[in-house]
Structure 1
Amino acid sequence: MRKTVRRAAGGATLAFALLGSTAGVAHGAPATLYAPSALVLTTAHGQGTATSPERAVILTCAPGTTGTHPASDGACAALARVKGEFGSLGQISRGQPRICTREYNPVTVTAKGIWQGKRVSYEHTFANECVKSAEGAAVFEF
């Protein structure tokens, strides 16, 4: 009787050991190969964020290009070109003819959210709408 109990206990232990070693083997595939990129963009007349935003849009670039931004494809392409560095957006329009007046009517833009899996918080005040359009590429044109 003792040998039977020992064999049964040994068999059960062996079965649990084998099941336990294979229990965590199955791995689920990732939902997407791209890190998420979703932003809330705002514009406001005035200097700094003390003024209330006049317009706000959502821009999602990954896993797909969606959102309420009117030119989401162009905005995502511009951000991808500068690797998510909002301060570098002006480099895209350099060399293209754009004549802006020197009037000072400040426009503040913000971008908050996630770009390629990293948290982003950007704020910049442009001298006027024309300068914002020239240096903000398609990202802040809404």
Structure 2
Amino acid sequence: MTAVRAGLSAAAFLLLAGAGATPTAHADAPPVTGNWLMLRVSHGETPAVAVGGTMLRCDPPGGGHPHAEEACADLTAADGRITALPAEDALCPMIYAPVTAHAQGMWRDRPVDYTETFPNPCTLSARTGSLFALDTA
């Protein structure tokens, strides 16, 4: 009986000790606050449901985005509002090949959730600059 009581006491201690532990973030997990966006571009009119994408971190720029410094500078100038990014003059073909851009994350500790479908990749690039330029070629 004493062995059972000692075992139960040890189990209760371990449960209580674990209850106060603070969860640690995984290296792959996006930060909870700050300036970061998870970016995805999918072909078609509906956003990709896939998990993942390309991480853009600002302060300092990085996170796997091939044009992080330029994208962060553009977002800083637009106060994190993707719809306020300056449009570039571009002659895009009138070919309908829709692409959907999706961004989700935080900017200056405010949540960002953006999805927009563009008629083709050229128009996406002209409207969002380097933000959704995710290919390295």
For residues 48 and 87 of structure 1, the distance between their equivalents in structure 2, rounded to whole angstroms, comes to 18
Counterparts of 1:38-53 in structure 2, within 5 Å, are 38-49=36-47, 51-52=48-49
> Which one has the largest radius of gyration?
1
Query: Alignment partner of 2:58: what SS?
Result: strand
Cα offsets for 1:56-81 (capped at 9, x unmatched)? 2100012x112010000000001111
Structure-2-length-normalised TM-score: 0.69
Query: Alignment partner of 1:66: what SS?
Result: coil
> 2:54·2:65 contact (CA, 8 Å) conserved in 1?
yes
Relative distance call for 1:141 and 1:112 in structure 2 (3 A) is same
In the TM superposition, structure 1's runs of 4+ consecutive aligned residues that sit over 2 Å from their partners are none
- 2:129 corresponds to 1:137: yes
Cα offsets for 1:103-123 (capped at 9, x unmatched)? 111000000011111111000
> 1:47·1:108 contact (CA, 8 Å) conserved in 2?
yes
Query: Alignment partner of 1:139: what SS?
Result: coil
User: Normalized per residue, which structure has more strand?
Assistant: 1
Identity between Structure 1 and Structure 2 (%): 32
Counterparts of 1:1-142 in structure 2, within 5 Å, are 36-49=34-47, 51-52=48-49, 56-62=53-59, 64-89=60-85, 91-93=86-88, 96=89, 98-142=90-134
- Which residue type is aligned with residue 42 of structure 2? A
List runs of 5+ in structure 1 lacking aligned partners: 1-34
For residues 109 and 92 of structure 1, the distance between their equivalents in structure 2, rounded to whole angstroms, comes to 15
Alignment length, in residue pairs?
102
Query: Alignment partner of 2:114: what SS?
Result: strand
Structure-1-length-normalised TM-score: 0.66
